[in-house]
């Protein structure tokens, strides 16, 4: 792992300036607390209980800062342990936390393979790390050993098809620049990149942009010394082999084969997801949540009227207005474009989503009987939830 450590000491990733914390919070999946609740605790976690979390391979801190800040805003006590190989990356993450005045974070320089020695955690964030280990299974197993009963993990690992063109360049650059210092590798790789023909698979891949954003992004994408991608079937098998079970992908609609083709009768779910991944051809990462194998269904289901729905971005009024006027809702994810259509009569239900009202209260406001509300809300749920636009959580806004 010395090559990986050297890389992130020279180019902490992703490139972040702690001064920017005054102007913005970087958000996304996984590790948004309401999304975590939706996928891991059936939307019913008791947020009066402190959350103990591990950010494994935290880099410059995006997942850490999002989790800690949103919990702080919600008044939830937390005990978060951050661990990363790179002292330089840790320094950036610490400076970002300090800029926000975030408390309850312990910073550790080390490997996520040491996670079992750090304690047991209700939640584990591991994004962009497991695919950089010499043996990813060892990493998955170490994190499973650090999971507290009833806990779960949010993960991101690379997917192969959306990264077309990356791995031939990594292989070539690895052979050409072996033994050079990181800054020399970067300079020479940039010179070679300028000479690539327009028809090179990398140049023709519109899904990739890290190499344009920063030196750290270029190095991480094209000069990484330890990097592999997982097709969805490989990922599911690896989860199963290391004591995990998939709770759900953050945007599960991307893996729904029925949206792309007629599904042969009796096809296994993993096979169907794998075919959907191949047909889309644009997924460059898999983002989702996992629980301990055998833990059972952990995802929130809208039959529970006590659940509180949350609309992504909080733009309920705007979405409701579009639905009321019959406009489709545009979605763009992983190179995929969808136009989501909801019945106009669902507009008042969407307008009532304020992050505080439970489904029962929204039903009472609707004037619909239980069956009518259930059918209409089911349409809202199955249209929005697969794209990460609707979650259920007791962590109220």
Residue 36's nearest CA partner among 239, 248, 240 is 248
**CA distance linking residue 172 with residue 176, whole number of Å:** 6
* pLDDT of the residue at 93: 98
Residues 274 and 246 in one domain: yes
CA distance linking residue 200 with residue 2, whole number of Å: 31
- Two tokens at 331? 């979605």
Question: Residue 174: inside a domain, yes or no?
Answer: no
Q: Are residues 249 and 336 in the same domain?
A: no
Q: How many CA atoms lie within 13 A of 188 on its CB side?
A: 17
Tell me: the pLDDT tens digits for 217-254?
A: 999 999 999 999 999 999 999 999 999 999 999 999 99
Q: What percent of the chain has pLDDT over 70?
A: 99
Torsion sign (Cα): 382, 384, 385, 386: positive
The answer as to whether 63 is a domain residue is yes
| Band of residue 334 on the pLDDT scale cut at 50, 70, 90 | confident
pLDDT for the residue 396 = 78
Q: Based on the fold, state whether residues 6 and 118 are members of the same structural domain.
A: yes
Do you know the residue count of the chain? 397
**Residue 314 above 70 pLDDT?**
no
Cα 164 to Cα 182: distance, rounded to the nearest angstrom: 24
Contact 84, 111 (CB under 8 A): no
pLDDT classification of 3: cutoffs 50, 70, 90: confident
Is the model's pLDDT at 1 over the cut of 60? Answer: no
Shared-domain flag, residues 315 and 259 = no
Residues 381 and 271 in one domain: no
DSSP letter at 195? T
The string of pLDDT tens digits covering residues 203-214 is 999 999 999 999
CATH of the domain at 19: 3.40.50.150
Domain count, the chain: 2
Q: What is the mean pLDDT of the chain?
A: 96
- Residue 324 domain boundaries: 309-392
Q: Are 127 and 263 contained in the same domain? A: yes
Q: Are residues 34 and 126 in the same domain?
A: yes
Q: pLDDT tens for residues 255-277?
A: 999 999 999 999 999 999 999 99
Helices (H) then strands (E): counts for the chain:
15, 11
In a domain, 264, yes or no: yes
pLDDT tens digits along 120-173: 999 999 999 999 999 999 999 999 999 999 999 999 999 999 999 999 999 999
Q: Is residue 97 over pLDDT 60?
A: yes
334 lies in the same domain as 277: no
The pTM (predicted TM-score) of the whole model is 0.96
* Whether the Cβ atoms of residue 234 and residue 286 lie closer than 8 Å to each other: no
Query: CA nearest 78: which of 109, 56, 54, 60?
Result: 54
| 36 and 106 inside one domain | yes
Residue 24 and residue 122 in one domain = yes
């Amino acid at each position: 792992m010395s090559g990986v450590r050297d890389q992130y000491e020279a180019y902490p990733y992703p490139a972040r300036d702690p001064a920017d914390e005054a102007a913005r919070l970087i958000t996304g999946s996984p590790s948004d607390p309401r999304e975590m609740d939706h996928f891991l605790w059936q939307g019913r976690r008791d947020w009066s209980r402190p959350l103990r979390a591990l950010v494994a391979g935290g880099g410059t801190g995006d997942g850490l800062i999002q989790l800690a800040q949103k919990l702080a805003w919600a008044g939830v006590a937390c005990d978060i342990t951050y661990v990363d190989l790179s002292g330089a990356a840790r320094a950036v993450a610490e400076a970002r936390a300090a800029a926000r005045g975030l408390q309850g974070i312990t910073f550790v320089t080390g490997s996520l393979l040491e996670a079992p020695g750090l304690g047991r955690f209700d939640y584990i964030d591991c994004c962009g790390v497991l695919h950089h280990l010499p043996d990813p299974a060892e990493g998955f197993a170490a994190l499973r050993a650090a999971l507290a009963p009833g806990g779960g993990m949010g993960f991101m690992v690379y997917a192969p098809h959306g990264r077309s063109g990356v791995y031939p360049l990594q292989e070539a650059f690895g052979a050409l620049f072996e033994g050079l210092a990181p800054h020399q590798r970067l300079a020479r790789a940039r010179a070679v990149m300028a000479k690539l023909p327009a028809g090179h698979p990398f140049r023709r891949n519109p899904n990739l942009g890290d190499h344009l954003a920063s030196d750290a992004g270029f190095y991480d994408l094209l000069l990484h010394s330890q990097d592999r991608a997982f097709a969805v079937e490989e990922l599911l098998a690896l989860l199963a082999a290391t004591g995990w079970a998939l709770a759900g992908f953050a945007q599960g609609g991307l893996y729904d084969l029925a949206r792309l083709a007629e599904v042969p009768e009796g096809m296994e779910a993993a096979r169907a997801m794998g075919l959907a991944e191949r047909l889309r051809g644009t997924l460059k990462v898999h983002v989702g949540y996992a629980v301990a194998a055998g833990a059972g269904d952990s995802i929130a289901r809208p039959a529970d009227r006590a659940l509180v729905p949350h609309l992504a971005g909080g733009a309920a009024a705007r979405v409701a207005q579009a639905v009321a006027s019959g406009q489709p809702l545009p979605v763009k994810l992983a190179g995929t474009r969808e136009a989501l259509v909801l019945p106009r009569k669902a507009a008042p239900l969407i307008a009532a989503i304020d992050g505080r009202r439970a489904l029962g209260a929204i039903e009472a406001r609707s004037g619909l009987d239980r069956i009518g509300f259930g059918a209409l809300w089911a349409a809202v749920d199955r249209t929005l939830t697969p794209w990460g636009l609707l979650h259920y959580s007791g962590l109220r806004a």
